[in-house]
Structure 1
């Protein structure tokens, strides 16, 4: 396969290069990633600043470092940088899970969504830890999963959001094909602080919530040491409520 790799942690992130090491054994690989940390930037793109892509060498391999967001990396890769069409785009491997409501903020997931909007097969891959000793087994699993995705395909605008426990594969309980949870953090707050110039600023803090035991919910499955695989659609329409809203008779209210 022709594989495009990206992330939101930056071109030098170890999870990205673990994927490159694994996929380059049997596939043609290109890397286009942000030139710095871009976590939690969501699906933003660059409109009012010049976008620059520079070749960067890491451990004998190379990729493009882009001074933009993860979605920018997909756009410029597909439209400008690559001399081939990717068969698949993989975003990751991200340190820290992307589950529940947090996927709405995730640059990792946004890059995979952008690829899906171009009609490309795509996956976002994360590990439930910020202190990861090795990404190698997660990269191996990702490569095997990619073969199934390539063989079977996905509908247009659909991607896979994959989250792994930070455990050796032989310690993982199994795989859960799960839905996205809707709950956010158990508590969000801003700490009010004072900088060296005596001016106030605020720093966002979050307390992680506890999870239940429903293996059909991404966070619950991950908490029980299952790999969570969630199909996500770019189409965010709530079809279930469309007919109800039509019954509101809004047509009579559009004149002011």
Structure 2
């Protein structure tokens, strides 16, 4: 099995090493193609107006000056001698659940793999609400290989990727795995922080509010908050099928 590993935190991120370790538990044919710099929050962006530059780092490892989507395309269309059987994107520093999914470069790496007809999985490791000084990537490394084997054991539907998030607790305290739906936070996640530079000219940071939601059972948020691994199948088809008939009637 040929595996392509990418991420959005960059080629030097510790989570990428964790993802590579997971991949090597599954196969000895592993290629790593990751962004040269941190690309968190770029979602499914492509580099269309700037050239992509690439550095070969040895042992099937490559750094691309571009987005996670760029990296998957480069890996599949240019670097790897044959199309991969699996794309692993991650392990992200921080979870990608609920609203995060639409912003996530990690999830986008798996999306691009899925668009190219490749089984694709996004991996993310939750860290504590107090900050990211201690990220338990060892939890992802312990549980991800077994979960991926189970997912690959059955043929998956076309156009579906798998978004796996690991809780912030020691591996021996993980309370199981739950198949979940994408949740929705009921608190504001992002805020704008105004600041000023040394000349008094204003600039702004987007910052996260570290507040917990009150999620419904069955959601990715609820699983993570309760110490479980969350596995969410995500479809590329964003159509709201339930609304099609009503909309057609309204526009008739």
Is the contact between residue 188 and residue 207 of structure 1 (CA under 8 Å) also seen in structure 2? Answer: yes
Residue 22 to residue 192, structure 1, CA distance change in 2 (3 Å): closer
Give TM-score scaled by structure 2 length: 0.92
Residue 133 to residue 223, structure 1, CA distance change in 2 (3 Å): closer
Residue 206 to residue 184, structure 1, CA distance change in 2 (3 Å): farther
Give TM-score scaled by structure 1 length: 0.91
Structure 2 SS opposite 1:80: helix
Pairing partner for 2:210 from 199, 208, 211: 208
Structure 2 match to 1:15: 15
Aligned positions of 1:132-151 closer than 5 A? 132=134, 134-151=136-153
Q: Per-residue CA shift, 1:108-144, capped at 9, x if unaligned?
A: 0000011011111111111111333552331232111
Higher Rg of the two aligned structures: 1
Aligned positions of 1:42-191 closer than 5 A? 42-57=43-58, 61-129=59-127, 130-132=132-134, 134-183=136-185, 185-191=187-193
Structure 1 match to 2:220: 218
RMSD, matched Cα = 1.7
Unpaired stretches in structure 2, ≥5 consecutive residues: none
Aligned partners of 1:127, 1:3: CA distance in 2, in Å?
20
Is the contact between residue 95 and residue 131 of structure 1 (CA under 8 Å) also seen in structure 2? Answer: no
Post-superposition shift, 1:62? 4.9
Structure 2 SS opposite 1:100: coil
- The alignment of Structure 1 onto Structure 2 pairs a total of residues equal to 247
